[in-house]
Amino acid sequence: MIVIVDDEERYVRPYIDELKETGYEVNVQTDVGAAEQFLMENLADVELLVLDVMMPPGDTMSQRETHHGLRTGMYFYRTIRTLALDLPIIVFTNVVDTEVFDFFNAEASTNCWFYRKQDLLPFELAEIVQRILFGRSHNA
């Protein structure tokens, strides 16, 4: 299962549709609190996470920590990494904040990939997901 965490489902609908057409089961979480709960309960079934950055912090994170929602994905990433060190995570965002970019760039060698939405069409995302999951199953 691929889990997509993004509060604006409408904008990632084409990506969701393409991943489904490619044959993946896709679960969409639009609220970070619910997403965290879902991942904790279903971690064994999750093969890959696609994560947005700019999202409302919800009830589980503070406005201040997440810079009023501008960096919620960063905070969520740190939380998930404590649960799943080797879960592949694709950070998929429109945010152009250099601090966000530097953070995820530093994570690049640890099962983390950073892409801007405007740089990837739906089939391109699907190809990247295929490559990551194929590489993992091959290594396993």
Binding site residues, another protein, CB under 8 A:
7-15, 17-18, 21, 31-33, 54-59, 63, 69-70, 94-97, 117-118, 121-123
For another protein, the closer of residues 50 and 54 by Cβ is: 54
Closest distance to another protein from the beta carbon of 136 (Å): 26
Least Cβ distance, residue 133 to another protein (angstroms) = 20
Which of residues 38 and 122 has its CB atom nearest to another protein in the complex?
122
Residue number with CB closer to another protein (3 or 126) = 126
Between strands 2-5 and 48-51, the pairing is: parallel
Q: Please identify which residue in the block is written with the tokens 């990939």.
A: 113
Q: How far is the CB of 13 from another protein (least distance, A)?
A: 7
CB of 9 vs another protein, minimal distance in Å: 5
DSSP 109: T
What letter does residue 110 receive in the DSSP assignment?
T
What is the token pair recorded at 104? 């995820």
Q: Between vectors from CA 128 to CA 125 and to CA 129, what angle results, nearest 5°? A: 85
Report the helix count and the strand count for the chain, using DSSP H and E: 5, 5
- Which residue, 69 or 132, has its beta carbon nearer to another protein? 69
* Shortest distance, position 122 Cβ to another protein, whole Å: 5
Give start and end residues of each alpha helix (H) in 23-120.
32-42, 72-83, 98-106
Residue 50 CB coordination number (10 Å): 25
Query: Of 13 and 135, which has the nearer Cβ to another protein?
Result: 13
